[in-house]
């Protein structure tokens, strides 16, 4: 087992005589587990049962998965639109007009052809120095996604080039997310994880921001975008 150098907590003495809090906690854990048989080497995880289902819906029917994603997103009050690659610029332009968007922010590598039909809208390409306050003045963010999960109605963003920094999909009040259907749709959470890299910043979005804190009445948009438009694009 590799033991990294003990970190020094501010105010925690770490002289050789005084055990650090780290040493104390580790020693307490080992003492607490004296009834547990120990074997050298990494723990054996083979005893964890993994006989739960990998998906709760058939995986091999792309149309059904797309329909299910649409239904579950709609359940949580996202607005779902379906179109083809060829018609996407037109659909996007109409959508932005409906939402009265005047300004957008877009990730650096969002396909420019998506925006070809928008007129009278200022598009700002994200850059590291664009601040939260500046983003607060922008109407709409447009992104792609890493993948979408049908069973749970979830969009997963992993800060890829067509998605950008996490802050983009948080501060503007309106998020348009483009999903390539069915290529980017997986059935379930167990099916999603193998496609994702946990060391990238991940944002999972299932419907717009919502609260049920007041008498359990659901209200959209406390802090994140209040309107979530999802465009499912087929070839």
Partner 1 sequence: MSRTDLGMPTFPQAARVSTKDAGLRANLTHATHTIRAKRAAAVAELPDWPRLRAAGAAVKDHTLRHLDHYLLQLEQAVTQAGGTVHWATTAEEANRITADIIKATGETEVVKVKSMATQETGLNEALAHHGITAYETDLAELIVQLGDDKPSHILVPAIHKNRTEIRDIFTRTMAAWGRPAPDDLHDTPAELAEAARLHLREKFLRAKVAVSGANFMIAETGTLVVVESEGNGRMCLTLPDTLISIVGIEKTIPTFRDLDILLQTLPRSSTAERMNPYTTMWTGTTPHDGPRNFHLVLLDNGRTDTLADTTGRQALRCIRCSACLNVCPVYERAGGHAYGSAYPGPIGAILTPQLRGTSTPLDASLPYASTLCGACYDVCPVAIDIPEILVHLRERVADQKDGHRAERTAMKAATWLLDHPAALSATERAASATRRLHPNRLPVPGPGKAWSDARDLPDVAAESFRAGWKKARGARTGTGTGTGTGTNEPKHDKDKDTPR
Residues in 164-183 that interact with partner 1 by CB under 8 A: 165-167, 170
Instruction: Evaluate whether 145 touches 157 at the Cβ level (below 8 Å).
Output: yes
Residue 136 makes contact with partner 1 by CB under 8 A = yes
Residue 140 makes contact with partner 1 by CB under 8 A = no
**Cα–Cα dist 184/232, whole Å:** 10
**Cα–Cα dist 17/13, whole Å:** 10
Binder among 13, 18, 25, 122 for partner 1 (CB under 8 A): 25
**Cα–Cα dist 105/214, whole Å:** 32
> Alpha carbon 1 to chain centroid distance?
33
Residue 16 makes contact with partner 1 by CB under 8 A = no
Segment interacting with partner 1 (CB under 8 A) among 58-66, 87-95, 117-125, 130-138: 130-138
Instruction: Evaluate whether 157 touches 212 at the Cβ level (below 8 Å).
Output: no
Query: In the stretch 52-71, what mask flags binding to partner 1 with x, by CB under 8 A?
Result: xx--x---------------
Instruction: State in angstroms the smallest separation of the CB of 39 from partner 1.
Output: 10
Instruction: Evaluate whether 157 touches 143 at the Cβ level (below 8 Å).
Output: yes
Instruction: State in angstroms the smallest separation of the CB of 225 from partner 1.
Output: 8
Binder among 94, 160, 190, 234 for partner 1 (CB under 8 A): 190
Binder among 89, 107, 144, 224 for partner 1 (CB under 8 A): 224
Binder among 15, 17, 47, 235 for partner 1 (CB under 8 A): 47
Binder among 31, 60, 86, 235 for partner 1 (CB under 8 A): 31
Strand 174-180 vs strand 154-157: parallel, antiparallel, or unpaired? unpaired
Q: How many residues bind partner 1 (CB under 8 A)?
A: 82
Q: What is the DSSP letter of 24?
A: H
The pair of structure tokens assigned to 138 is 């922008």
Query: In the stretch 81-100, what mask flags binding to partner 1 with x, by CB under 8 A?
Result: --------------------
**Cα–Cα dist 185/62, whole Å:** 8
**Cα–Cα dist 97/190, whole Å:** 38
Residue 45 makes contact with partner 1 by CB under 8 A = yes
- Report the residue number, 26 or 97, with the smaller CB distance to partner 1: 26
Other C-beta atoms closer than 10 Å to the C-beta of 221 total 16
């Amino acid at each position: 087992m590799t033991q990294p150098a003990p970190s020094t907590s501010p105010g925690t003495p770490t002289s050789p005589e005084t055990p650090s809090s780290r040493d104390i906690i580790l020693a307490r854990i080992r003492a607490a587990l004296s009834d547990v048989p120990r074997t050298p080497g990494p723990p054996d995880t083979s005893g964890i049962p993994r006989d739960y289902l990998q998906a709760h819906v058939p995986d091999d029917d792309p149309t059904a998965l797309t329909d299910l994603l649409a239904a579950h997103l709609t359940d949580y009050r996202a607005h779902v639109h379906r179109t083809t690659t060829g018609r996407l610029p037109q659909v996007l332009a109409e959508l932005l007009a409906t939402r009265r968007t005047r300004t957008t922010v877009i990730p650096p590598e969002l396909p420019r052809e998506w925006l070809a039909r928008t007129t009278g809208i200022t598009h700002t390409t994200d850059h590291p120095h664009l601040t939260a306050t500046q983003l607060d003045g922008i109407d709409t963010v447009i992104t792609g996604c890493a993948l979408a999960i049908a069973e749970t109605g979830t969009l997963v963003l992993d800060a890829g080039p067509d998605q950008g920094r996490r802050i983009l999909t948080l501060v503007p009040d309106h998020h348009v997310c483009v999903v390539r259907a069915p290529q980017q749709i997986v059935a379930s959470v167990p099916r999603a994880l193998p496609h994702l890299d946990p060391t990238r910043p991940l944002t999972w979005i299932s419907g717009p921001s919502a609260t049920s804190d007041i008498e359990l009445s659901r209200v959209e948009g406390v802090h994140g975008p209040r309107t979530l438009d999802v465009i499912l694009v087929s070839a």
